[in-house]
Amino acid sequence: MKIKINNLGAVRQANIEIKPLTVFIGPNNTGKTQTAYAMGGTLGKWGIQKYTDAYVNNELPESYPLIEEAIEKFLKDGNAKINMTDFLDRHGKYYFQNVAKYAPKWIQGFFATKRMNFDNFKITFTDWKEIRDTISKNFFKLKVEGKISVSETGKAMLTIIKETNDDNFFIISHDKKVQEDLPLKEIKRVFLGTFFSGIQGSLFSGVFFFPAERTGFISFLMPLEKKITVTPKSEPQGKTLPAPIADMFETIVNIYFQGDIQKRIEEGKTQKDIKKYLELSAILQNEIIGGIIDFSTPDINLNRDLIVKWKGKENILLDMPVLSSAVKDLTPLALYLNYTARQNHLIIIDEPEMNLHPKAQAQFVEFLAMMVNSGLYILITTHSPYIVDHLANLIKAEKSKQKEKLKERFFLHRTDAFLSQDKVGVYLFGERTAKNIMNEDGSIDWDTFSSITEEIMQIYLDLE
């Protein structure tokens, strides 16, 4: 997917293609993190929610006749449908451009800033054919459902549903008085939120952020008490947080209150992707973290602590606050893989090398490649030469005809850590833009690192 960014912080203009693994490198304060977050916000639930609210409140200059006709039919007959292929043919290209066009309206709240100016910010999708092809390939696999229920009984008043292997969204009333008793705005909000989520979910079935704040966050979050809640704006009560931090907070809180590992394991018996993500989490814990992350009890109805059992050491259990920063840094990702990960998620990790020893950084880039090869999309920002250099090794190894022999030279000793070049995009940020620095042979021009290494060496030589 190709995206154009204009006038976002330090970035005047940049053209980015999201690949299964997309890497942003460059000096500090060149716009890497803001660009990654703005893209994730537009493609994820924040952008969908804000656009849906604006559409329902008639704050947009555009409307979609197929949607308006379906709502009108529902109010008259109690049921209606929208065919996704028809919608894409008539409105799809304009829908995605309109969602992007609305981003400047919510971007300030997304970053939780009052002082940064986004008046000239613009994000644009530049390749509709690719978007259309991706939606067409993934849409039939999805099951999407929304409903409005009676709060006392939980009985559905109306349901919006798209079944697997069906091209239609249905809105169905379960009570003849629904059309009269429910506010039109509420009906439209639930219907459109479900419908738009289905469209964008065909690109990325979810967008998850792992911001730099994750290391300190995980210590303060645990242990939790049941009184901690998350507001509809995905913020802990009484706090105003940037959306990427609030999103991670919500992900971990949901795992704490709802995460049932036995249920996930059972799902993995019939769903290959879930089984794979459980296996990946085990590799992350055993090979990189060095211990098993778990809750003190599997019972979600009890207060429980997040603990680590050290690999190979019997009965040594430690609470999260006393563990190393590297363990805290990687714990949210391990929890995500154990409880939440699904195929076609987009994961945005800000500086994954934080607190990691160079060997662990090399291990981790191999692990990222394994995540990509399992069907996840990864976007990272980094300052690590170890990650960039070793990524080039993984690309070169994938081209070899002796993968089994080569794997022993790598840190995790796995051929599924080798990565096809066409799955990787590397962008150097600086001079108010971002440029693709992946060469045709798979090598990476990373002068931002090598020039500093050479300068440090020259200083040493000059001191002799």
Phi, psi of 66 (to 5 degrees): -60, -40
If asked whether residues 143 and 246 sit together in one domain, one would say no
β-pairing verdict for 21-25 and 377-382: parallel
In a domain? residue 222: no
CA distance 103 to 7: 13
Domain total for the chain? 2
Structure tokens at 282: 């085990």
In a domain? residue 162: yes
- Per the rule left: phi > 0, alpha: psi between -120 and 50, beta: everything else, 320 is alpha
H/E stretch holding 168 reads: strand 168-173
Q: What is the dihedral of CA 421, 351, 287, 298, to 10 degrees?
A: -120
Q: What pLDDT does residue 450 have?
A: 66
Q: What is the dihedral of CA 344, 249, 309, 265, to 10 degrees?
A: -40
With contact defined as beta carbons under 8 Å apart, do 48 and 110 qualify?
Answer: no
If asked whether residues 174 and 53 sit together in one domain, one would say yes
What are the pLDDT digits (tens) for 207-247? 999 999 998 877 765 544 443 444 444 444 445 789 999 99
In a domain? residue 237: yes
Q: What pLDDT does residue 371 have?
A: 98
If asked whether residues 196 and 259 sit together in one domain, one would say no
Nearest to 379 by CA among 346, 421, 336: 346
Phi, psi of 439 (to 5 degrees): -80, 165
With contact defined as beta carbons under 8 Å apart, do 218 and 320 qualify?
Answer: yes
What are the pLDDT digits (tens) for 113-165? 988 889 999 999 999 999 999 998 888 888 888 888 765 566 778 899 999 99
Nearest to 375 by CA among 275, 286, 266: 275
If asked whether residues 51 and 197 sit together in one domain, one would say yes
If asked whether residues 140 and 245 sit together in one domain, one would say no
Q: What pLDDT does residue 236 have?
A: 43
Average pLDDT, the chain: 89
With contact defined as beta carbons under 8 Å apart, do 195 and 160 qualify?
Answer: yes
If asked whether residues 148 and 93 sit together in one domain, one would say yes
In a domain? residue 414: no
Structure tokens at 366: 């191999």
CA distance 176 to 189: 20
**Residue at which a domain ends, from 279, 314, 342:** 342
If asked whether residues 54 and 197 sit together in one domain, one would say yes
CA distance 133 to 92: 12
CA distance 156 to 150: 6
Nearest to 421 by CA among 445, 443, 448, 389: 443
**Residue at which a domain ends, from 180, 201, 222:** 201
CA distance 5 to 3: 7
Q: Find the helix packing angle between 385-398 and 358-373, rounded to 10°.
A: 40
Domain limits at 242?
A: 232-342
In a domain? residue 265: yes
Instruction: Provide the edge-to-edge strand list for the sheet that holds 144-149.
Output: 79-83, 168-173, 156-162, 144-149
Burial of residue 391 (number of CB atoms within 10 Å: 0-12, 13-18, 19+):
buried
CA distance 403 to 420: 13
In a domain? residue 97: yes
If asked whether residues 57 and 163 sit together in one domain, one would say yes
In a domain? residue 269: yes
Q: What pLDDT does residue 321 have?
A: 80
DSSP 3-state percent helix, strand, coil across the chain (nearest 5): 50, 20, 30
Pick out the chain residues at pLDDT < 70: 150-154, 220-239, 312-315, 447-453, 459-460, 464
Instruction: Provide the edge-to-edge strand list for the sheet that holds 306-310.
Output: 291-295, 306-310, 317-319
If asked whether residues 266 and 196 sit together in one domain, one would say no
Phi, psi of 171 (to 5 degrees): -120, 120
H/E stretch holding 141 reads: none
In a domain? residue 415: no
- Give the predicted TM-score (pTM) of the model: 0.91
If asked whether residues 73 and 167 sit together in one domain, one would say yes
With contact defined as beta carbons under 8 Å apart, do 410 and 421 qualify?
Answer: no
If asked whether residues 98 and 187 sit together in one domain, one would say yes
Q: What pLDDT does residue 449 have?
A: 67
If asked whether residues 338 and 250 sit together in one domain, one would say yes
**Residue at which a domain ends, from 342, 357, 387:** 342
